[in-house]
Amino acid sequence: MNIARTLTLGLCLLHGAAAVAVPGAPADAPDPALIDRLARTLADEVNHSDHFDAQVWLIASEQKLTRWVRGDGERMDILRNVYREANRQRIDADLVLAVMHVESAFDRFAVSSAGAQGLMQVMPFWRLEIGRPQDNLTDVQTNIRYGTAILAHYLGVSRGDLVDALARYNGSRGKLNYPERVVLSFRRTWQTRLTAELPQLRAGCTAYGLNACEPIPR
């Protein structure tokens, strides 16, 4: 365990954060594969997004996000970064919005009692683990890049099990409360594709019998 990691854990213990479930926080030592993914993601500036698909998604999502983010510039900044980073990590952009909705209600300055920061509530120790202590987790692009990389990693570890990946992201594996909230947010507000096009969601609903998967009254 490096010195920076030791200091970070010490501060968490002093503030009583050790017993609090936080997004992306490892139970023991950080997963080297996740550290590697974060490092590569933060160093990669390549954008492979399709322009037309991006515009269609932005128009549909921008209207929904107005309820939480009033400023046009900030709203579009969030959406552009969500679309780009979700595509970079090959995860559903609507799922990222649902995670943000549950984690921070789209407040980029949100800080949890355990110290998690920003839109996707990323723990600051990840910056130290990949040698980027200067990164500002209240910055829209930075926070989304970290958060999507962490979520994509847990989807890989969970072999596509969406419910398990969400619980891992939240630090509450084995419990369904957090996945229920994210899936409900996704289905009620953010979903733009047909459920038939989302095999991970269908499989999770079947395997876990989530209440959030029940038909939503119209």
Which residues lie below 8 Å from residue 206, measured CB to CB, with a gap of 6+?
A: none
Please provide the DSSP assignment of 67-126 as one string: TT---HHHHHHHHHHHHHHHHHHT--HHHHHHHHHHHHTT-TT-B-TT--BTTTTB-THH
The predicted-structure confidence for 53-99, as pLDDT tens digits, reads as follows: 888 898 999 999 999 999 999 999 999 999 999 999 999 999 999 99
The predicted-structure confidence for 115-130, as pLDDT tens digits, reads as follows: 999 999 999 999 999 9
Instruction: Tell me what the mean pLDDT of segment 190-201 comes to.
Output: 87
Confidence of residue 14 (pLDDT cuts 50, 70, 90): very low
The predicted-structure confidence for 97-118, as pLDDT tens digits, reads as follows: 999 999 999 999 999 999 999 9
State the Cα–Cα distance between residues 25 and 170, nearest whole angstrom. 8
pLDDT confidence of residue 83: 92
pLDDT confidence of residue 217: 75
pLDDT at 3 over 80: no
More confident residue, 20 or 173: 173
Nearest to 166 by CA among 206, 208, 124, 115: 208
pTM above 0.85, yes or no: no
Confidence of residue 33 (pLDDT cuts 50, 70, 90): confident
List the structure tokens of 211: 């209440």
Residues involved in catalysis? 103
Please provide the DSSP assignment of 118-177 as one string: TTTTB-THHHHHTT-TT--TTSHHHHHHHHHHHHHHHHHHTTT-HHHHHHHHHT-TT--H
State the Cα–Cα distance between residues 105 and 7, nearest whole angstrom. 30
Q: Please, what are the domains in the chain?
A: 3-213 (1.10.530)
pLDDT at 163 over 80: yes
State the Cα–Cα distance between residues 144 and 148, nearest whole angstrom. 6
Q: Taking all residues of the chain, what is their mean pLDDT, rounded to a whole number? A: 84
